[in-house]
Structure 1
Amino acid sequence: MLSSQRKQYILDTLRRDGQIVAKTLSQELGLSEDTIRRDLRELAQEGLLQRVHGGALPASPAVADFAARQALSGEAKVAIGRAAAERIQPGQVVMLDGGTTAIQVARHLPPHLEATIVTHSPSVAVELAHHRHVEVILIGGRLFKHSVVAVGSAALEAIRRVRADLYYLGVTGLHPQAGLTTGDLEEAHIKRALSEQAAETVALASAEKLNAASPYQVAPITELSGIITERAVPAQATEAFERLGIPVLRV
């Protein structure tokens, strides 16, 4: 079997099964594990999968920069943002992540809602600048231009001085085993700190993020209090999360 044929077989298997186990695949194809691992390494370098111990998982397409992510699942993000906004209660302190879905949350907050939004995203803060009844706390730090959010030690220190009722989390991957993951190490630290300071963490996840993985873990999947995703997501895509006791809301 040619290298190109093996790689296509690997990608087809990954789409079908949701994971690759190198040892099993090597036995199935009658090839050495070293050969399979080399193929996985090369496919990972192309961004076509995420390597993990013993094999690979689907790579999240949501690791693109902020501008490119705006084109992904546009209608779904609007629906998720609207549903998340409607669930914020008067008087709550809510941490709102950066990203394109978080902007939709900000845009859909009810006009008479009185609450406090804490965010490290200048884009989210600007969306809320004209909301009459929402107090906005903007976390500062070094601007991570890829995601247009503040990161670094100054941001971490400010986050740890806040106690929030709810954190709306945006990540590039949610996977039952790999957990909540994102594509940048510093951003993962910031998201972890935000989650640790909130009584509840709810992930906002369009379809391409479910059962996918990125290089840096934010937290185990069991840290979630819930997932809000798009209505069209098939039941099999969320059943592993629901078996872990994580409520999934389709909108």
Structure 2
Amino acid sequence: MIEVAGLTKAFRGREVLRGLDHTFADGRLTYLLGLNGAGKSTLLRCIGGVTRPDAGAVRIDGRAPAAFEAPVRHLGMHLSADAFTPGHSARRHLRWLAALGGIPVGRADALLDEVGLAAVADRPVGGFSLGMRQRLGIASALVGNPRTLLLDEPLNGLDVAGVLWMRGRLRQWADEGRCMVVASHALAEVERTADEVVMIEDGRIVTAGTVAGVRGSHTDLEEAFATHVPRVALGHAVAG
């Protein structure tokens, strides 16, 4: 379970998170929805301890992210498809993460099979396609078999087979009791698979609940999103 209380973060004087409060439950697949610049990625980074909030607190299973001695065993993160050393191979990257968490290196080889990268495991990551880097990012998040997973746009760059694979895995991990928090723009996929939807605009949660609850009387989630986030109508306007 992730508990977020009063989370506030500003960059260069602009507030990106504004006193955000929410509890993300175990055994549920929760999607964060919002336009670019709404605060989704910053929220994930604050939860994961990558970015320090200016105010507020984060608790993962009752503990601050920094309190875990071997974080990869408790929290798995895939927040960027570019978070790899280009000259390293996928195998080397995963074995390094395993060693960092005191995990047998054989776990890396098993994960390469699980995410479909075994055939390219010893190639430099710099030559990987976006979809391949996404699969490596997912494997990286799973190294310690954590109860909590944070994923930022994991469907980007995946082909149809990859999307189907990811859909099944996300559902499987939530059903195993993990706390799953995923940022996404793929509204149709969210509507199809989410247990909970959290819409963020200008650093605040504007609505949260089940897909049916958030959709309400609207035809679909896209229509509901446009209602809750009026900036959608100003398609050219992008937050700084």
Which category of TM-score, normalised to the shorter sequence, fits these structures?
Answer: 0.3 to 0.5
TM-score, with structure 2 as normaliser: 0.35
